[in-house]
């Protein structure tokens, strides 16, 4: 398998620019996810790697060798599709063996290779069954087997879990991850679902409107999103984003918007941190899981602590099993979403105290929408 490099890639369809100057690297043995909403350009990149679409400008290389002029067949790329694309009347084994058969691999070598793949994917039990009767999860494992069997340079996964139900999706994604890591498969995953990208990929490239927004490990994207778009896209439920005015004081700072004030009035770290901001308005991001909620009166000691506390009423409770997501309307009518360990006994119109720690906050520029850093 080889290292895949995208060097200043453009894709134009007439006047539409589907992919704009994307630089990316997928090192050998890694899985790179292309994540973004529909129309973000991720599928165009996939098609250009596979060779079914031409590159308008730029170059794709495998281990430094340009491939964009090569026909799809000679690139030695395998693909795993959303809808499996298996031959329904053939057995699992025959589906896996198919790519070797059409390439005229000698029967004995082919048998050995198919055997290896069946063992690797634990498909022994279903090998002689027709694929049409198997579960979606089993079918997708067979299609992965068919991709692996001919030792491709690169495996492309195109929304591989979209058609699966609940636990099958969860099981298969960890199987793919394990397989990818233990067999050191170089692979590119295209998905619109952040949880699939985070679960399977070593690094995730977030795309929007043809442009690469950020590439990093799942932890990077969660803890240090480069801009508002990434912040909005990574995390479920999504981050609260509040457009606020910054008031600096000697020992701290206040963030004020119509209906909500976050006051860190005695926090030198905060004072130091915001002193380099060059605008009075800033977008404050708070992840729902970083807000603590509690009932009851505020105590004096709590009020004086560095964490800011404000009050609001529960507007809506979404139970999710081991967590509850609360939509809370602050006393000044600002809507804030909170995720808390569940099941809880909170119900509509309960009054709650909300606490946020300064180091859990995210800050973005109101003008450029780029991240302004975090308090460490």
Partner 1 sequence: MIGTFEKAGLSVRNLSKGFGDLQALSDVTLNVKPGEVLSVTGPSGAGKTTLCKCIAGLVSSDAGMLHLGGQDLAYLAAGERRVAFLFESYALYPHKSVFENAASPLEAPGQQPKLSTDEIAARVRKELELLAIDHLEHRLPSELSGGQKQRAALARALVQRDAGLTILDEPISHLDAKLRHRLRGEIKREMAGRASPAIWVTRDGLEALSVGDRVAILINGRIAQIATPQNVWAAPANTQVARLIGDPPMNLLDATLLKEGETAFGVLNGGVRISLPPECYARLDAATRGTNLVEGGAVILGIKPRDVELRRLKSVEEISFEVASVEPFGKHDLVSLLIGDTAFKVKTRDDHGLRVGHRAGLRIVGDVTFFERASGDRIKTLELSSGSTEGRAVPAL
What residues make contact with partner 1 under the rule CB under 8 A? Answer: 37-39, 122, 163, 165-167, 170-171, 173-175, 177-178, 181-182, 194-195, 198-200, 217-219, 222-223, 232-238, 287, 289, 315-316, 318-323, 325, 327, 337, 339, 343
Q: Determine phi and psi for 371, rounding to 5 degrees.
A: -65, 145
Which residues are CB-contacts of 250 (< 8 A; sequence separation ≥ 6)? 271
* E strand spans, 93-202: 154-158, 187-191
DSSP 102-130: HTT--HHHHHHHHHHHHHHTT-GGGTTSB
Judged by beta carbon, residue 296 or residue 321, the one nearer partner 1 is 321
Q: Is 206 exposed, middle or buried (0-12, 13-18, 19+ CB in 10 A)?
A: buried
DSSP state of 61: E
* Least distance CB 214 / partner 1 (angstroms): 14
Which residues are CB-contacts of 18 (< 8 A; sequence separation ≥ 6)? 11, 12, 41, 44, 210
Judged by beta carbon, residue 171 or residue 249, the one nearer partner 1 is 171
Place of tokens 């995208």: 6
What is the spatial distance between Cα 355 and Cα 351, in angstroms, rounded to a whole number?
13
* Least distance CB 268 / partner 1 (angstroms): 28
* Least distance CB 165 / partner 1 (angstroms): 4
Judged by beta carbon, residue 195 or residue 263, the one nearer partner 1 is 195
Omega of the bond leading into 343 within 30 degrees of 0 (cis): yes
* Least distance CB 194 / partner 1 (angstroms): 7
Judged by beta carbon, residue 152 or residue 225, the one nearer partner 1 is 225
* Least distance CB 206 / partner 1 (angstroms): 13
254 within 8 A of 310, measured Cβ to Cβ = no
* Least distance CB 310 / partner 1 (angstroms): 20
* Least distance CB 171 / partner 1 (angstroms): 6
Judged by beta carbon, residue 186 or residue 254, the one nearer partner 1 is 186
Judged by beta carbon, residue 72 or residue 342, the one nearer partner 1 is 342
* Least distance CB 228 / partner 1 (angstroms): 12
Judged by beta carbon, residue 177 or residue 269, the one nearer partner 1 is 177
Judged by beta carbon, residue 80 or residue 121, the one nearer partner 1 is 121
What is the spatial distance between Cα 63 and Cα 40, in angstroms, rounded to a whole number?
27
- Residue 287, Cα to own-chain centre: how many angstroms? 16
186 within 8 A of 13, measured Cβ to Cβ = no
């Amino acid at each position: 398998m080889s290292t895949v490099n995208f060097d200043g890639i453009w894709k134009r369809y007439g006047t539409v620019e589907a992919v704009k100057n994307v630089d990316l690297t997928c090192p050998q043995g890694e899985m790179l996810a292309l994540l973004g909403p529909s129309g973000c350009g991720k599928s165009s990149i996939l098609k250009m790697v596979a060779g079914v679409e031409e590159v308008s400008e730029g170059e794709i290389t495998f281990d430094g060798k340009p491939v964009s002029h090569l026909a799809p067949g000679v690139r030695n790329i395998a693909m795993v599709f959303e809808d499996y694309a298996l031959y329904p009347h053939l057995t699992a084994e025959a589906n896996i063996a198919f790519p070797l058969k059409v390439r005229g691999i000698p029967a004995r070598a082919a048998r050995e290779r198919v055997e290896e793949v069946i063992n690797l994917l634990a498909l022994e039990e279903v090998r002689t069954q027709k694929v049409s009767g198997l579960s979606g999860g089993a079918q997708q494992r067979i299609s992965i087997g068919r991709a692996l069997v001919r030792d491709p340079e690169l495996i492309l996964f195109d929304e591989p879990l979209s058609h699966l139900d609940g636990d099958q999706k969860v099981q298969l994604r960890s199987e793919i991850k394990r397989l990818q890591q233990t067999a050191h498969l170089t692979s590119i995953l295209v998905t619109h679902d952040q949880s699939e990208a985070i679960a399977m990929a070593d690094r995730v490239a977030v795309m929007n409107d043809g442009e690469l927004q950020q590439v990093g490990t799942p932890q990077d994207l969660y803890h240090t999103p480069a801009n508002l778009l990434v912040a909005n896209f990574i995390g479920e439920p999504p981050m609260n984003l509040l457009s606020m005015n910054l008031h600096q004081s000697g020992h701290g700072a206040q963030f004020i918007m119509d209906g909500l004030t976050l006051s860190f009035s005695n926090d030198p770290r905060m004072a130091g941190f915001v002193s380099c901001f060059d605008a009075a308005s800033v977008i404050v991001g708070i992840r729902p899981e970083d807000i603590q909620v509690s009932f009851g009166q505020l105590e004096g000691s709590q009020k004086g602590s560095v964490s800011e506390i404000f009050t609001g009423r529960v507007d809506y409770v979404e139970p999710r099993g081991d967590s509850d997501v609360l939509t809370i309307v602050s006393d000044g009518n600002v809507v804030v979403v909170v995720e808390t360990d569940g099941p809880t006994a909170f119900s509509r119109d309960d009054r709650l105290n909300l606490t946020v720690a300064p180091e859990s906050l995210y800050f973005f520029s109101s003008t450029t929408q780029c991240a302004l850093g975090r308090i460490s």
